[in-house]
Structure formats: C-alpha cells, structure tokens
A and B are shown apart, each in its own frame.
Chain A
Amino acid sequence: NAGVIQTPRHKVTGKGQEATLWCEPISGHSAVFWYRQTIVQGLEFLTYFRNQAPIDDSGMPKERFSAQMPNQSHSTLKIQSTQPQDSAVYLCASSLRGRQDTQYFGPGTRLLVL
C-alpha cells in the first residue's frame, strides 16, 4: 500500500499563474479531503469529497480555488491566478467510507508563489 500520493511535491509559480495539485487516495478509500497548512494559520480544512461527490467545501476560498474528483483514483485542487498568500503546504487525506474521523495523509505539495 503506497499510501496517499500527492504530486508534485514542490511547485513554484509566478504571481497570476495557475497551479494544479494532484492527489491519489488510498485504494478503496471513498472519502478525500484537502487541507492547507501555513505557519500562521496552521492546518485548515478546505474541501471534502465522498464517493467522488463534493460534500463540504466550506473552507475553500470563494474565488480562484476549485477542486474536482473525476474518478475514484484521483482528485485535483486548482488555484487560478495564484497570489503570494496562496503559498502553503497543501495536504490531501483519504479515509474509508463512514470513517472520516480516521484520515490518512499524503506528504503534501509545497506551493511557493513568487
């Protein structure tokens, strides 16, 4: 079991460019979560999918951020027109159906917006 896979591990973009982050959940897990981690804010919930359907996006910034889960084997987080304040580590986690309290985390993607 490879665990949750996130790619790329590091990404540097220029201000105004688009960034797409990928997450491959653990096989058999039906729930996928996205978090953002910064020194100032800590770990913040962004959004959550269950059986590929968006369930809760209450943590997603209303502009420029979007997430999708086109199939059960991957999810993407897209940030349009990136800004320096988007610089953070973006973590993806997955869990078994009905066990959203037991989440397994990927290594994260460190995004730096210059």
Chain B
Amino acid sequence: QQKVQQSPESLTVSEGAMASLNCTFSDRSSDNFRWYRQHSGKGLEVLVSIFSDGEKEEGSFTAHLNRASLHVFLHIREPQPSDSALYLCAVSIGTSSGQKLVFGQGTILKVYL
C-alpha cells in the first residue's frame, strides 16, 4: 500500500529565497506524481506533474523525481508572499477500479517580505 510522507511540516522563507519541499513514497511502482497548492479556504491547484525520473519545470516550480530513492522534490524559485499556502504531494496508484490519488500530509509554506 502506497504511503506518502512530506517534510518539513512547515517552512518559512524570505521572499526570493529558494524553497525546497520533500515528498517520500513507499512503492516505487507508481509512475505518476503531482504537486498541488492549496491557499487557505480554497481548492487544490495542480502545480506540476512528473512521470519519469529527472526534472520537470512549470514556471517557478520544478519537480525532481528519483524513484530509486523514493523521493519527489518540489523547488520553488524566488517565492513570493502569494505563494504562502499548503503544498500537497500526490502519488497516483493503480487499483482494480482505476487510478487513485494518495496524498501526503502537506507542507505549510510561509513567505515573508
């Protein structure tokens, strides 16, 4: 059963500094990973999807997948206060009823001026 854990639980960075978030999963047979952002009181917004080892960039967000080490990272380049939110890692798993997403607990990111 796929287990997804995120670290750190919370992260505070200054505007413009790189923010790095970590997501660890337990079953390397998954090949579909996503990072979501959730602003307070809002729904989930997909930031970047990655399906193979290596990097995938979407704007200021870069996902880095290393299936051998069971990690997928999210790097946020020059974060702004508007990037303050909950960041969720999701791993897609195949079931008899189709694909299902398993989420980590999230990392709360705070960006200050």
Contacts and interface: CB of A to CB of B under 8 A. Distances in A.
A45 B100 CA distance: 9
B100 A100 contact: yes
Interface in A84-105: 91, 93, 100-105
Nearest to A4: B43
Interface of B is mostly: strand
B29 to A, nearest CB: 14
Interface stretch (B17-25, B61-69, B72-80, B91-99): B91-99
Nearest to B39: A107
Given A91-B44, A101-B92, A106-B43, A42 B104 contact: yes
B99 A101 contact: yes
Interface of A is mostly: strand
Q: Which of under 10, 10 to 19, 20 to 34, or 35 or more describes the interface residues of B?
A: 20 to 34
A55 interface: yes
Q: Which of under 10, 10 to 19, 20 to 34, or 35 or more describes the interface residues of A?
A: 20 to 34
Contacts of B41: 107-108, 110
Contacts of B7: none
A65 B104 CA distance: 24
